[in-house]
Amino acid sequence: MAFASPAEIDRAARLLKAGRLVAFPTETVYGLGANALDADAVARIYAAKRRPATSPLIVHVASIEMVRLLLGAPMSTGAGAAACTTSAWPETAELLARIFWPGPLTLVLPKPAAIPLIVTAGLSTVGLRMPSHPVALALIRAAGVPLAAPSANRFTELSPTTAEHVRQSLGGDVDYVLDGGPCEVGIESTVLSLAEVRPVLLRPGGISRAEIEAVIGPVDLAEAPSVGAHPAPGMHARHYSPRTPLFLVSNGELPESGRGIYLQHTRLPNRAGSKVVQMPLSATDYAARLYLALHEADDAHVDWIAVDVPPEAAEWEAVHDRLRRAAFRD
């Protein structure tokens, strides 16, 4: 994997501290970062992505201690997690962070005063996560501030898993792009709210619901509200969409006309004449390949993309979520 150099990371950090936008790699997808404490800088994210104000942003940190400082929670003393928890940083958050951070899990907690309302779409909660990509962590540390960072692409379009995807989508609307190679997880983080009486899964992602429930017990499932701000990003009906019409098919039943690309999982196409791309059989490998395969299909300028629907098993929950939204039509 290619990594940005220390000089490139320092340059990116200086831009962030000056209120500019920097795209950077995470293990999930590339993020479009701005200083999360600077409302004007965050406004540039919304403008560059053409993102509605009802869609909140995730705040990225480099350590649990950075979260504690942000939330005004006690710092760790080494005496154990329970001794360091408060209502701002509850024991459940400490437990999940100790197990899954750094990694693709976002925890939604009450918003501290330091975070501008524009970051949270006006909500009283904020999503926090610690990415595992070394470039992302080095950048946050060099900038010295938490970074608000949605995916580095136009709103509702395919998420970027390479630096080139970012350049193709955002062009000159991003001040700098750090190249950290292709993203390993390939889909966005799981978003779990701890601001309710019971934990609520707002978005499935890189950490499965089963993995979370094995640690903290059952979690509730949320649906996007019909009006107002969404409690997490990625909850719009149409999202993660290629420019080319995408169809979810079973039994290999392809569209009747036009040229297309078929992302095959296990079922063979019902007719010849279309390009077949074999997708991985495991849910983890499939997720890591999905956006790249859709970008490549989009770039082929075909009439349609057909996707063989994966199994209806628990480990495929995040993939099904992305495919359903990518195929949604008003």
Contact 330/238 with Cβ under 8 angstroms? yes
pLDDT of residue 88: 87
pLDDT of residue 82: 47
How far apart are the C-alpha atoms of 234 and 188, rounded to whole Å?
9
CA torsion sign for 284, 314, 234, 12 is negative
159-210 per-position pLDDT tens digit:
999 999 999 999 999 999 999 999 999 999 999 999 988 999 999 999 999 9
Phi, psi at residue 249, to the nearest 5°? -130, 155
pLDDT of residue 286: 98
pLDDT of residue 83: 45
What 3-state class would DSSP assign to 261? strand
How far apart are the C-alpha atoms of 321 and 97, rounded to whole Å?
24
pLDDT of residue 2: 57
pLDDT of residue 223: 80
Closest CA to 46 of 129, 170, 161: 170
Q: Greatest CA span in the chain, whole angstroms?
A: 66
Contact 133/249 with Cβ under 8 angstroms? no
275-312 per-position pLDDT tens digit:
999 999 999 999 999 999 999 999 999 999 999 999 99
Q: Which domains are assigned to the chain?
A: 6-221 (3.90.870.10), 246-326 (no CATH)
pLDDT of residue 278: 96
In the predicted model, residues of the chain with pLDDT beneath 50 are 1, 79-83
Helix (H) or strand (E) segment spanning residue 126: strand 125-129
Predicted structure pTM score: 0.94
Residue 194: is it exposed, middle or buried by C-beta count within 10 angstroms (0-12/13-18/19+)?
A: buried
How far apart are the C-alpha atoms of 29 and 318, rounded to whole Å?
14
Beta bridge partners of 59: 128, 148
**CA 171, 174, 180, 185: dihedral to nearest 10 degrees?**
-80
